[in-house]
Each structure stands twice: as structure tokens, then as C-alpha cells.
Amino acid sequence: MKATEEVVSSDLDQLILVDSADQQIGSMTKPDCHLGSGTLHRAFSIFIFNRAGDVLLQRRSKQKMLWPGYWSNACCSHPRLGETSVAAAHRRLKQELGISAALSYLYKFEYQAPFEDIGSEHELCWVWIGVTEDENIVANENEIAEWRFVSRAQLDQELDENPDEFTPWMKLEWQRIFDHHAALIPGA
């Protein structure tokens, strides 16, 4: 497993504040967006599959403010002020995993999830899906502690047996992808 230590995220990053209709209403630094019950901001979540239909999971770095060490989908982050969600999604795939993939937009949804007494996610999240033939992952150690491809059956079993090891947004998105977008997943 190759790794890189490039810094790809800063506490000075200005995130895009939105209303529930995803209309931009301002900006705020990343840490400030996540304090207390969180301030609604735009985010994205990417699920990457290989040609066999296995999904790429990452264990979040212990350096993360929220859900450090939890398993999640391939890539999740925020567009920066002035950046589109699709541009941000492609940028972060390259920065976090060293891969590129054609992405298909699936849907967006709003959720709020507190993490201990540290802060909360309150995001209007754009969900993307992609397929890659490149399994030569170069994980960014500042973002990702480890990664793996798993089958749908294996992930379903892990979610049933150990749901508290996974991020809340991933759990919200996983079943909906298969319920409404299975045609986009190889082997589904």
C-alpha cells in the first residue's frame, strides 16, 4: 500500500454555507462549520467500485476532528468557496486516493449528526458514484489510515454486526444507492 502525506485540507478553507434548497448563503471556515450542532454547508460523498462490483472503503485518519478511525466510503469532503461539487469531488479523489474516475451524480440530501461532545456534521451532501480499474491506491496518510475493497455482502454484514464502526453519512447513503441506483454498479 503506497501512501503520501500531502496536506490537502486546512482549517482556513472557506466552506460554502447553504440553505435547505442548496442555495449559497455565505461561507465559514471548516472548523467553525462543525462546532456545536454544526452549520449547514455543502459537502459531497463518493462511492467508488471496481469492475467486480466491490466498493472502496477508507478508515478515516486519527487526525480527523469528527469520526476519526471510523470506516467510510471512498471519499467525502467539501467544495471550497468558488468551487463546484464535481470539481471538488475529482480533486479530492486524486488528493486522497491518487485515482481518477468518471463520476455520476446520484442525489443530494441534508443530514445532521453529532459526534461525542466535539461537534457535528450538518451537511447538504451531493452523492456521487464511480467505477475505477485503477486499484493502485496512493492513500494520503493525513486523510486515510487504511483502505480496502469489499463486496456488497461483506459490507452489509459488517454494517449489521458493527454499525458503530462506520460514519453516519455512509450508513445513510449505502442502502439508498442500491435501492435507487443499482444499475450503475458493476455486478449489482
Residues designated catalytic? 76, 123
Upper half-sphere CA count for residue 122 (Cβ side, 13 Å): 17
CA-based radius of gyration for the chain: 15
End-to-end Cα, the chain, rounded Å? 27
Give which of 79, 170, 90 is closest to 132, Cα–Cα.
90
**Residue 82 CB coordination number (10 Å):** 9
Q: Which residues pair with 26 in a beta bridge?
A: 17
Q: Which three cell numbers stand for residue 177?
A: 444507492
Long-range contacts at 115-118 (CB < 8 A, ≥ 24 apart): 115/66, 115/67, 118/65, 118/66
Tell me which H or E stretch contains 55: strand 55-60
Amino acid 110 reads E
